[in-house]
Structures are given as structure tokens and as C-alpha cells.
Structure 1
Amino acid sequence: MDCGGRIDKARRRGRGAVSNAAGRFDLARNAEPEEAGEPRPPLRTELRLEEARSIIAWNRSPDLPFDRSINPYRGCEHGCSYCFARPTHAYLGLSPGLDFETRLIARPNAAQLLRRELSARSYRVAPIALGTNTDPYQPVERDRRITRRCLKVLAEFNHPVAIVTKGTLIERDLDILAPMAARGLVRVGISVTTLDARLSRRMEPRAPTPGRRLRAIRRLADAGVPVRLMVAPVVPALTDHELEAIMTAGRDAGAVAASWIMLRLPREVATLWREWLAEHEPGRAARVMARLREMHGGRDYDPRWGHRMRGRGHYAAMIAARFAAAERRLGLNGALPDLRCDLFRAPPKPGDQLSLF
């Protein structure tokens, strides 16, 4: 690692970020020079366990269609180079770069906390989002099964949930999801950024291939789980030409609705993304960044509500128009049915007196 936090290619093979520079709360990291010529082992994924004190996170963002979410993990091994959640690792004193995808934190008591919080007398039911910050079906879930335990609690309470993922491990939990879907309690969003497997491998190195995600859509749809295809993010001058093809492939796989989000570069992500472009797409880098700045008033990113998800200007309007036309043509413009909240019940605790009626 040099003074800018860059890591040798051999050490970061199969990772998304190019560097591991300090986050905004850990400026001392930049003072860790790597000895010239000294061989270093490849970066390995580390997992730390955290006993969380609460699990439901609340938000008041007018850009989001939910006010509460749960995230069983911090950091994400999928390593998507563009991930808007990378800056959250800075709050842990870790780098939003390679630390975000190699130094993960799991919350093994998430299901217990969820049960406790849903059982509170003051709790008022509304759909809960699962996986809005980091992917609940990233590779570590295979062994940890924290997401699965949370789903079991939600099913027991008849609590509505909306899941967002790239992970095909979601198929494992169809035994829980299919009955919930039959009761109107679940819907799933599957993100497909590109249909180009080689580009996907460079841009989101440990996520399932695009074709594999489409097969997951098919399996979910066949099990009766409503799926929204998420073209997210749309990357100007890199994946934008695929918009209609991605939507067609998602519809053919069984998706019943679609959405899109423009590439977002909050805080440290802007630098990380420019580094990725310089290494992987140097010939397109200037054009990609010019389009983004055009949509954000000359800046890499504008975080204002009502602006950050789509941008403004001629290019953003063109993408929106293309999406709307394809959505109508493919029959993806129907609204998904509202998730049911009327079935919610806190199950009786051991020792509770049961009702006679």
C-alpha cells in the first residue's frame, strides 16, 4: 500500500476496490507505507461478530419507500466497485475501500433483537426492508444463516418484508418465502447492472453472474414470489446502452415490475470509482465522469433528496424516457400489490395465557 492506500494487484485479485485509503474518521491510515519489494499475502475475508444493541434502523428519507430496515451484516464481500454503502465503513474506523469488502461484521443476535423489537407494545407494523445497505445474501450468509433466522421471525409474526439482493443464495430460503408470498407478505428486488459477464466480474467481482441472477428471478417467480427487476445502477457510457436488454431479460425470467437508479458516488465512493475507471476502463473514464457531472451540477454527486437517485438534465431525462417506454412495452409498469399489514400478530410467549376465542 502506498501513501495513497493503493494495494498491489496480486494481493487484491477478485476484489472490487483498487485502494484501501483512510475513511474520513481514520486519517492515520494514509501513513502506512508498504515496504518496497516486500511480498505480501493476498487479502482474505475476515469476519468479526458484533453483539448489536438494536436491529431495526429507522429513516425519514422522502427518496425511500420504507421507513425501517434491517441489515444483518456490515460490509459486503460482493465487492461492487460502485457501492453507495461503502462510506458506512468509515464510521467503524475502517476504509470504505478494500476493508469494506474484506473486513466484514456479522450480527449473530439479529433475530433475537428483531423478535424483541417486534414484540414491543409500542411497535406499529409497516413493511420492513431487508438488505438496503449491504446484501443479506452475500457469501458469508451461507454459513452464518443470520438472514434466514430473521426471515423465520418475520414469518412467525406475519410481518411484511421487502428484500433487495444480488445474491442467489435467496433460493435456499424459498421454503420460508413462498408461504409468506402466498399470504402477501414478501416481495423481492433483484439487481442486474449489466448482462456482460466479463464486465460484471470486474465491476462486482464476487456477486453472482448476471445469468445466474436471472435464473434466481425465474426460481422465485415460479415459487410465487413477486420479483422487481432493478436496473441499478445505470452507469453512463458503460452500461446505459443495455437498459432495454436488461429489462427484457428480467421480464422473460419472470419479473413483474422494474425500477432504475443512476450511479451514485457519495463521499469516498467518488474517489474509489475514479480509481476503478482508471484501471479497468481508462478509455471511457472521462466520458463516464462527464455524464455524471452533467447530471449533478458539475460535481461527481449531488446528495439532495429528490435528486440523488436519478440526477437532472438532458441525459437523465433521456434515460428516464427510455426506461418508461420499455416498461410499458414489456408490461413491467404495473404496480406491485401492497404488502399486507393486517395479518401482523405477535406470537404468544411461553407462559402467556391463550385467548378462548
Structure 2
Amino acid sequence: MPFAWTLNPYRGCTHGCHYCFARRYQSYLELDSGDAFSSIILIKVNFADVLRRELKRATWRPALVAFGTATDPYQPIEGRYELSRRTLEVLLDHPTPLGLITKGPLVIRDADLLAELGRLTQCTVYVSVPTTDTDAWEKLEPGTSPPSQRLRAVSQLAARGINVGVLMAPLVPGITSQRAKLDRTLRAVADSGARFVGTNILHLDGGTRDHFMKFLAQNYPDLLDGYERLYRGKYASPGYANKIQALVNAIQVAYMPKYNRSAKAGNWQQITTAGRGLTQRQTELNWG
């Protein structure tokens, strides 16, 4: 999804996905990239107010905003704070092209705002469903809703006329990349009514790499040596990545012959915004 600006109303994420690249950002706050990522959530309580002030500036020119690039805007805590809904209300008052990324079925709550924004400007929802394999999902994404619930949300959003698709991302080598698993996931995606599907291969960098390798050692120790060879740097070897992408493409053609690999969304230029004057509240979640 190409974008010009990013919005993240929370920092940290209770979904606790072991592969999440945003784990490394915790180090900026002198927090570790392991348990702290999913147990300590920073809540930008005046996020919508700051955004409204930014969009009122005479210099603002509407450009595509990516919502949820480093946290999930519809993680469970959103049910209490409603920062994402209030953010959508601001974007609706100042019609701004939007690409929203989430694993949270709670996004259905805001279908009214997303549908209205889509009538005024570009609005695309990307629901992340890396796999429908139960064992892989439970281990990789311990705090998320089941893939079936996410795909149901896709169907409900599509029924409201919202441009919604699925991100099968990341594809995790040796865990979600087997042909049979890809086949089942893509079949379920096609049945959901998703209007497009996008994929990419897991990349490992900084604190995320350290955390993920510990996760492998505990859950998939037989894969450790292979990962050391496959990930000499932060990206999987090009030969492997191309092989998996070709396999995905072949299966997609079978189930979604007219699929769009991505939603048309403009040009990439990652810049963070709405950072001036934010007030953050730290919440520590005790799982006990």
C-alpha cells in the first residue's frame, strides 16, 4: 500500500504477533522488544485533537494516509478508548484518502464512517490474515482474533460497499508457506469476498529478529538452522522469496482469476505525522 503519511494512535500492541517488525521500535523508549511490546501500551489520548489541528493548517494538502502501520488501530484496547473511531471522524471532516490496516474484527463497528469516507475519497481496508492454519495462527499471533472472524469482517465490510482486501502477510517460511496451507488460506480469502489480496515474505530486523529467533527456538527448533541460512540479512534470500511468490500467484489465479494484487493507492513515501504535542498515557496490562 503506497502512502504519504502514517497514523498510529497507540504504541505497542496486545496482539503480540511474534513476527511484528514494530517490536524494534520499543527500544526507542528503553523497553524490550519481547513481552513489553504486548503488555505495555502507550495511548495517545489526544491523538484525534492533534490530527484535527494538523489538518486545519493552511499548508495541508490531502495525501494518502496509512492508518495502523506500527500498531493495530483495532486491537482490543480500542473498544475502550475509541481513538481510531475519533480519528476516522476527523478524516471524514477533512476528506483524506485512507488505507487502514488491521487484524481486529472491531473494525466492523466503524463501517459507517469507512463507507462514508469511501464515498468522498479513496478508502481501502486491508485485513491481515497471514494464514488460516490453526496451529500456526495460535503460535504466531497469540493475542489476535481467529482468522475466521477476520474473514467474516472482510465479508461484512464488502457488503457495505467498502473497498476491502486481505494481506496474507507475512508469509513465514516453513510455518505458513507450505503449498497446502497457502491453498486453504487463499480459498478462504476468495470465499470472503475480498476484492484483492497482497503478500510478502517475513523480514527480520533488529529487536524483531532477536525475538523471533527465540520464538523459533521454543516452538520450531528444527527450523533454526534453516533460518540462519535463509536470513543472512533482514530479508529472505531472493531465490526463495521469488519461489514462494510464484507459488502464491499460481494458487491465486485458481481461486481469484480476476484478483487485483493491490489496491491502487498512489506513491510510497513513508513519513510519520501527528507527532507534535501528543500526550501519551502508558498502560501496563497484567495478564495474571
TM-score, length basis structure 2: 0.86
Q: Where in structure 2 are the equivalents of 1:144-293 lying within 5 Å? A: 144-241=81-178, 242-290=181-229, 292-293=230-231
Quote the residue 2:76 is aligned against: 139
Alignment check: 8 A CA contact 1:235 1:288 kept = no
Task: Tell me the equivalent position of 1:322.
Answer: 247
Partner Cα distance (2:95, 2:20) in 1? 31
> Which residue, out of 4, 28, 35, partners 1:91?
28
Output the CA distance in 2 between the equivalents of 1:139 and 1:325.
36
- In 2, Cα distance between the equivalents of 1:279 and 1:334? 34
Shift of 1:108: 1.1
Distance in 2 of aligned mates of 1:275 and 1:335: 33
| Structure 1 counterpart of 2:5, one-letter code | R
Cα drift, residue 259 of structure 1: 0.9
Residue 54 of structure 2 corresponds to 117
Matches of residues 9-88 of structure 1 in structure 2 within 5 Å?
A: 65-88=2-25
Measured against aligned partners, the alpha-carbon deviations of 1:275-329 in whole angstroms (never above 9, x if no partner) come to: 1111111233333443x32xxxx33x15xxxxxxxx4432111112122223333
Change in Cα spacing, 1:113 to 1:234, as seen in structure 2 (3 Å) is same
**Structure-2 residue corresponding to 1:59:** none
User: Does the 8 A contact of 2:98 with 2:124 survive in 1?
Assistant: yes
- The amino acid that maps onto 2:128 is S
Q: Which residue identity is paired with 1:325?
A: A
- Amino acid of the structure 1 residue aligned with 2:182: L
**Aligned mates of 1:82, 1:172 — CA distance in 2:** 27
- 1:332: which partner in 2? 259
Residue 178 of structure 1 deviates from its aligned partner by: 1.7
Q: Distance in 1 between matches of 2:112 and 2:61?
A: 27
Name the structure, 1 or 2, with higher relative contact order (CA <8 Å, separation 6+).
2
Structure 1 contact 190–228 (Cα < 8 Å) conserved: yes
Cα contact 1:182–1:224 (8 A) shared by 2: no
The residue matched to 1:215 in structure 2 has which SS?
Answer: helix
Deviates more, 1:86-95 or 1:195-204: 195-204
**Superposition CA RMSD, Å:** 1.7
SS of match in other structure, 2:41: strand
Alpha-carbon distance in 2 for matches of 1:139, 1:87 = 22
1:49 corresponds to = none
Shift of residue 197, structure 1, vs aligned partner: 2.1
Supply the AA of the counterpart residue of 2:22: A
Question: What residue ranges of structure 2 are gaps of 5+ in the alignment?
Answer: 267-288
For the 8 Å contact 1:237–1:287, the answer to whether it is kept is no
- 1:206–1:66: structure 2 CA closer, same or farther, 3 Å change rule? same
Distance 1:183 1:323 in 2: 34
Between the two proteins, the alignment pairs up a number of residues equal to 262
Q: Percent identity?
A: 35
In 2, Cα distance between equivalents of 1:244 and 1:94: 39
- Unaligned 5+ segments in structure 1 are 1-63, 303-310, 340-357
Structure 2 counterpart of 1:313, which letter? Answer: P
Question: Equivalent residue for 1:5?
Answer: none
Q: Which residue of 2 aligns with 1:3?
A: none
Matched residue type, 1:152: E
In the other structure, the counterpart of 1:15 is none
2: distance between equivalents of 1:186 and 1:153? 14
